[in-house]
Every structure is written in C-alpha cells, then in structure tokens.
Amino acid sequence: MNRKLNLTVMLGGPSAEREVSLRSGAAVAAALRSMGHEVFELDPRDANWVLPEKTDVVFLALHGTYGEDGTVQQQLEKLGVAYTGCDAESSRVAFDKLLTKQACIEKIVPTPKFLVADSADTPWPLGWQPPLVVKPVRQGSSVGLQFVNRVEEWHTALAESLRYDSEVLVEEKIIGRETTVGILDGQALPVVEVRPKAGSYDYKSKYTAGASEYFCPADFDAATTRRIQDAALGAFKAIGGRDYARVDVMVRADGSPVVLEVNTLPGMTETSLLPKAAAAIGIHFAELCQRMVKLALARQLKMKTEN
C-alpha cells in the first residue's frame, strides 16, 4: 500500500481513559503522516461528530467506553466506512469482562475462577480465600481495579469498584508472572512480561513513566512461550477478534497460562505494549500503524468486490 490515503484518527472521546487515548491518537497520527498520508484527527466528545469527506479509513485510537465497547464501531458500520480493529460485536464482548469469561469457558481457554457482584453488601463468597481481584465488568485499562488481600477489605473494595459500573467481576488472584501478548493479523507476537516496580499493575503503574519494567521477548522457555501465545490466540478467537488486539495472561509457577482479558483497542504510543512486541520482530511503529490501516482497507475492498 504505497498510495496516499485520507485517514481519520479518532482519539480522545468521552471515556475515563480520554487522556491516554489522546496520547495514542497523537502518536498514530504522527506515524501515519510520516508514511505520507493525509491525516485528520477527530475527537468524538459527544455523538454529534461528523466524519471528514473522502475518509478512506478510520483509525480507532479510542479507549474505554464508547470507543472500545462496540458503540463507535456500530456507527461507522452504518456509515459504510472502513475502520481498524475488531468489529462491533467482538468489541462489545471483549469490553464486557463477564461475556469474555463466558466465551473463554465455552472455548476451553483457561481463565480464573470468578463470580459477579452488584452490591457493596454482597457477603464474602463461601469457600473462597484471599487474595481476590475486584474490577468493573465494563471498564478498560485497570479503571476501578481493586485487590482484596484480607477479608476486612472486601466491602470497601466492592464499593470502590462499583463506582465505575453497576456490576463487578470478582476473581481469584492468580499468583505468578504477568504477561501480555499482542495479536496482529492472526499471529501472536512475542510475549511481553510486565513487572511493576511496586505493588500491582494497576492504572497508576500502567501509565506512570518508570513505574513498571517490560521484558520482550519474555524469558520463558519455548514450550511455555507457545502455551502463553496459544492461550492468548484462543481468547482472541473466542471473542471473535479480527486484525489485532492485546491479551493479558498470567503465568503460574508451573508455566500454565491463565487469560485475564482481551483489549481490542490497546494503547498505541511508541512505548505501548503492542508496539513494543511488534518492534521485537522488526516492525517499527509507523509500519505497524500502516499495517493496521492496510487490514481495514483490504476488508473494505473485499466487501466491495463481493457486492
């Protein structure tokens, strides 16, 4: 794809992750301009946005609600415009942690034991032991994430997480190494290991410069690496993913992977984890953005020829 395209990068938006999305979008727009494209930046603060005329492809750099939950994808499909990433339905499933869980269980993809709570008064689950993880069913990027290390923290954690959604997912906390796997065009990229310098990989350690260390490719043997990548690909397929995503996977001490969640619109700054994994196999940031556009464009052209 060497021809110059008219591209619209959608960034910002109305979600709790607006600031991160603005950074992703700015990085993507700069990268695509460096590849010679005409790039317009569109911030859909509300539903009254208008797409620039002659837009060939929309690059979605939105995160969180509206951008990642299938809403904007539905609107773009009604407009008949090609856009990057997963379609509306798989975005909706991936953004809903409960639906993702159900999809993984159906396809026999390993995922932590869980239950759903909708009240801060929910009693401690019978037969469970701390530590537990509590997170909103429909939020992204560690928003509202709480860790329960003692039973006394249970009701406070529920109340805090329920500020962000009407339901929360409660999981056993998997003890092990934290990894993430980028998926690009149906292939698993090298595994990235995440090591927060203090505490857990929450919103603060994710977006504070220097708060976490990243190792790519992660230092696992070949068999364990393959198991982690297979689990990630399994989850990606289970939610009906297409083009690209990033799958968070915990790895127990015995090397067995456990999928936490699928991010259909992962961070896209040059230091974000999907670009980091792509760089490990020689795909630089601008080329990665170009490939994402190319996948969307190819799908659009295929649809036109079939019709």
CA distance 297 to 189: 22
Whole-number Å distance between alpha carbons of 32 and 41: 11
261: part of which helix (H) or strand (E)?
strand 257-263
Annotated catalytic residue: which of 69, 261, 272, 291? 261
Active-site option among 41, 178, 202, 248: 248
Rounded distance between C-alpha atoms, residue 268 and residue 285, angstroms: 9
Q: What secondary structure letter does DSSP report for 283?
A: -
DSSP β-bridge partners for residue 9 = 41, 59
In the set 141, 161, 205, 272, the catalytic residue is 141
CA distances from 236 to 71, 131, 252, 269 (A): 19, 27, 20, 22
**Has 248 been annotated as catalytic?**
yes
Set 234, 246, 272, 291: catalytic member = 246
Q: Let me know if 255 is a catalytic residue.
A: no
Q: How many CA atoms lie within 13 A of 146 on its CB side?
A: 24
Of 12, 13, 17, 234, catalytic: 17
The answer to whether residue 263 is catalytic is: yes
Amino acid symbol at 146: Q
Annotation says 246 is catalytic: yes
3-state DSSP call for residue 42? strand
119 is catalytic: no
d(CA 65, CA 293): 22
Question: Which one of 43, 207, 212, 256 is the catalytic residue?
Answer: 207
166 part of the active site = no
Burial 47-86 (b: 16+ CB within 10 A, else e): eeeebeeebbbbbbbbbbbbbbbbbbbebbeeeebbbbbb
* Rounded CA separation 284/203 (Å): 26
Q: Are 229 and 191 in contact (CB under 8 A)?
A: yes
Given 91, 161, 205, 263, the catalytic residue:
263
Note the Cα 162 to chain centre separation in Å. Answer: 21
Q: Which helix (H) or strand (E) holds 189?
A: strand 187-196
Annotated active-site residue 244? The verdict is no
Q: Which residues are catalytic?
A: 17, 141, 207, 246, 248, 261, 263, 267
